[in-house]
Structure 1
């Protein structure tokens, strides 16, 4: 069994690889640069995830191939490398390398009807809802950006003047932060940055995991 090497940072070559792939997203380019992907992109990401595993759990390092069966865009390869640690169904922590550098995030990216109803019920709750609202406000004040799919109108059963109507409109919810091209990206210290980011998101991830499990 091959031991995963220690994390040494994301190489400049990884960012260059995705810059080039955005320009030439073809099988011929991929075949010429497979070794660059394996050694400069996937191997560092696997090393980063292995170092985070004792605290957060095993990550899924996503495959580089796009599912183009039903897509208008038929380019075959993803122009980023992501990894996800699952805390509950469709809920957990995320890290990504792309032409825009490194970003981190966490939350839930989709929900069944039952889980979404549970989420909205918790948001509507007099104690749980303000707890989540305060948590998100604190993260946003610290520079995190809220994302996720949300309704343009009020969900059925909730009034437009509900004090947390903005949260109730969410069908998925995440908080993300762009580290970008900061020099730390290329050093072993990136491990501490990602770890600190995921720790900052732990209350959000655990809140969602607790209150959407059905």
Structure 2
């Protein structure tokens, strides 16, 4: 299947699902999900696979076993290409449009320790700072969960304490409702931005593998 963009029906589907997140709605509109959400996402990630690797298309069902929110369905469709633990490239469609990202979204204790060692080390840490500056200049937002204080074992006066407080580190860009998300141009946009994110993803991969 050739990627032609996400139809307007995909965004409308999630708009309606946010209002009526029930099995009866899902069952009545599953064909819309299959044809206008999942199929284009598979086509998009298949087109990117040769360069970036095979993607995991996330299941649409929420794990509600331990959640207070018992709504059964996710209100977005994401896909992820992993290169290291919890590290790689991401693309998502939802009622808010399309967004892309890359980096490390979660780090177990041992992995976080390795990432912080790299951040603290002079050469690797400065390289990461340059990567993040370049991404910001390119229109990416830098985010991720952060501690409010210095992590254990690190001086609060460390020159890269802002980085060291991160528990996850991501670069992202929102395309929103730009007309190109409904066209084949979206493939080129995602490919371009994943390439721009490659230095960040690669830096994380170097620390973790």
Extract unaligned runs of 5+ from structure 2: none
TM-score (norm 2): 0.98
Aligned match of 1:148 = 144
2:162 to 159, 166, 171: 166
Q: What root-mean-square deviation, in Å, do the aligned CA atoms of Structure 1 and Structure 2 show?
A: 0.7
Deviation string 1:88-136 (CA, Å, 9 cap, x unpaired) is 1110000000111000000011112111111101000110001001110
Provide the rounded CA distance (Å) in 1 between the counterparts of 2:122 and 2:84: 24
Aligned match of 1:98 = 94
Q: Residue 176 of structure 1 aligns to a residue in which SS? A: strand
Confirm or deny that 1:120 pairs with 2:87: no
Confirm or deny that 1:56 pairs with 2:52: yes
Aligned match of 2:72 = 76
1:66 to 62, 72, 75: 62
Q: Residue 160 of structure 1 aligns to a residue in which SS? A: coil
Extract unaligned runs of 5+ from structure 1: none
Q: Residue 195 of structure 1 aligns to a residue in which SS? A: helix
1:17 to 8, 13, 18: 13
Between 156-165 and 97-106, the greater mean CA deviation after superposition = 156-165
2:24 to 10, 23, 28: 28
Q: How much has 1:141 moved relative to structure 2? A: 2.1
Q: How much has 1:166 moved relative to structure 2? A: 0.7
Aligned match of 1:88 = 84
Moved over 6 A (4+): none
Provide the rounded CA distance (Å) in 2 between the counterparts of 1:199 and 1:143: 14
Confirm or deny that 1:181 pairs with 2:177: yes
Q: How much has 1:197 moved relative to structure 2? A: 0.5
Confirm or deny that 1:204 pairs with 2:200: yes
Confirm or deny that 1:195 pairs with 2:191: yes
TM-score (norm 1): 0.96
Between 145-154 and 37-46, the greater mean CA deviation after superposition = 145-154
Q: How much has 1:80 moved relative to structure 2? A: 0.2
